[in-house]
C-alpha cells in the first residue's frame, strides 16, 4: 500500500550554469543566475524538513549537472536531470518511474516562492482522500506555483505549460476530468520585473520569514540593492 508522498522541485530552465541560464529582463547574466539559484535554494531549505516522511526529488536541467552548489553534494540519489525545453520528457520519466510509487505527488515550479512548510503540508493533506484530487497553488497574478495530485492523468498533465502556467487555463483543464479540486492562494512566481517588485514588497513583510529565512532574505536583498532603480 502506498503510504508516503513525493515532492518534486521542477526547474523551468537552467538555474546554475551562467552560460545557459535565460537572462531575466534587464539583469546581467550573473545576476539572473543569482536570482534563479536563490529561488531554488530557498525551496531546498524549506523542503529539507520533509526528508523523514516524504521523498524529495530535485529535477534540474541537464546543463546544470556540473554547476550545482555544494548544497546538493549529498543528494545525488535525489537528483533528476532533464532537458527543460522538453517538458513532456521529464513528465514521462516521472510518470514511468516515480508517480505510481507515491500516494501523493506535489510538483513545485522552481520560479515560485511563498510556500511555507505549513502550506506544503496543507497541500499534501488535501490529497489524503480516496477520491481523485488535485491541489493548485495560485499566485496573486493568476499563475500556478505548484500542482499536486493523488492520481496521475496523462491527458491532463501532458498539456500543462510549466513556463507559463496560467491558473484559469489549468483549472479549465482539470475540470474536464473528475477530480476534486482544492486551491491554495497568495503565492508568487517570478517571471518579470513586476514580479520582482512584488517579491521585494512581500519580503519586506514580517510574515515572509515563514517561507524565506534571514539567510535567504540576504541573498535576495543583494539583488534588490543592485537593482534598486527598478523597484521605484
Q: Domains for the chain: give ranges and CATH numbers.
A: 5-193 (3.90.550.10)
Distance CA 226, CA 168 (A): 34
Mean pLDDT of 169-193: 91
Is the model's pLDDT at 93 over the cut of 60?
yes
Q: Is the pLDDT of residue 180 over 60?
A: yes
More confidently predicted of 161 and 55: 55
Indicate left, alpha or beta for 187 from its phi (over 0: left) and psi (-120 to 50: alpha): beta
At 107, which helix (H) or strand (E)? strand 104-109
**68-105: b or e for each residue (b if 16 or more CB lie within 10 Å)?**
beeebeeeeeeebbbebeebeebbeebbeebbeebebb
Least confident among 21-30, 169-178, 206-215: 169-178
Cell numbers for 44 = 531546498
List C-alpha distances in Å: 177 to 104, 150, 180.
18, 13, 9
Has residue 202 got a pLDDT over 80?
Answer: yes
Q: What percent of the chain has pLDDT over 70?
A: 97
Distance CA 6, CA 103 (A): 8
Mean pLDDT over 100-110 rounds to 93
Specify the 3-state DSSP secondary structure of 161: coil
pLDDT the model gives residue 92: 86
Q: Name the pLDDT band for 80 (thresholds 50, 70, 90).
A: very high
CB 181 within 8 A of CB 171: yes
Helix locations, the chain, DSSP H:
29-47, 87-97, 117-126, 154-157, 167-175, 193-203, 214-226
- What is the model's pLDDT at position 3? 61
Burial, 18: exposed, middle or buried (Cβ in 10 Å; 0-12, 13-18, 19+)? middle
Residues in contact with 215: Cβ distance below 8 Å, sequence separation at least 6, in sequence order: 45
pTM of the shown model: 0.94
Least confident span in 47-56, 73-82, 171-180, 201-210: 47-56
| Residue 192, pLDDT above cutoff 70 | yes
Q: What is the pLDDT of residue 177?
A: 83
**Residue 151 and residue 44: Cα distance in Å, rounded?**
25
Is the predicted pLDDT of residue 1 greater than 60, yes or no?
no
Question: Tens of pLDDT along 59-71?
Answer: 999 999 999 999 8
CA distance 214 to 105: 29
**CB of 89 within 8 A of CB of 97?**
no
Amino acid at each position: 500500500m502506498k503510504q508516503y508522498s513525493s515532492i518534486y522541485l521542477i526547474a523551468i530552465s537552467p538555474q546554475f550554469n551562467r552560460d545557459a541560464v535565460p537572462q531575466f529582463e534587464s539583469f546581467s547574466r550573473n545576476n539572473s543566475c543569482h536570482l534563479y539559484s536563490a529561488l531554488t535554494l530557498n525551496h531546498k531549505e524549506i523542503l529539507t524538513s520533509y526528508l523523514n516522511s516524504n521523498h524529495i526529488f530535485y529535477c534540474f536541467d541537464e546543463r546544470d549537472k556540473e554547476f550545482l552548489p555544494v548544497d546538493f553534494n549529498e543528494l545525488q540519489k535525489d537528483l533528476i536531470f532533464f532537458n527543460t525545453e522538453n517538458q513532456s520528457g521529464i513528465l514521462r520519466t516521472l510518470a514511468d518511474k516515480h508517480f505510481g510509487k507515491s500516494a501523493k505527488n506535489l510538483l513545485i515550479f522552481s520560479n515560485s516562492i511563498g510556500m511555507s512548510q505549513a502550506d506544503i503540508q496543507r497541500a499534501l493533506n488535501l490529497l489524503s482522500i480516496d477520491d481523485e484530487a488535485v491541489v493548485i497553488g495560485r499566485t496573486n497574478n493568476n499563475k500556478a506555483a505548484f500542482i499536486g495530485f493523488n492520481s496521475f492523468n496523462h491527458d491532463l498533465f501532458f498539456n500543462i505549460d510549466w513556463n507559463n502556467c496560467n491558473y484559469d487555463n489549468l483549472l479549465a483543464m482539470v475540470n474536464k476530468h473528475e477530480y476534486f479540486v482544492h486551491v491554495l492562494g497568495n503565492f508568487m512566481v517570478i517571471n518579470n520585473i513586476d514580479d520582482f517588485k512584488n517579491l521585494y514588497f512581500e519580503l519586506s513583510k514580517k510574515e515572509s520569514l515563514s517561507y524565506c529565512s534571514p539567510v535567504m532574505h540576504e541573498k535576495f536583498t543583494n539583488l534588490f540593492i543592485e537593482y534598486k532603480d527598478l523597484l521605484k
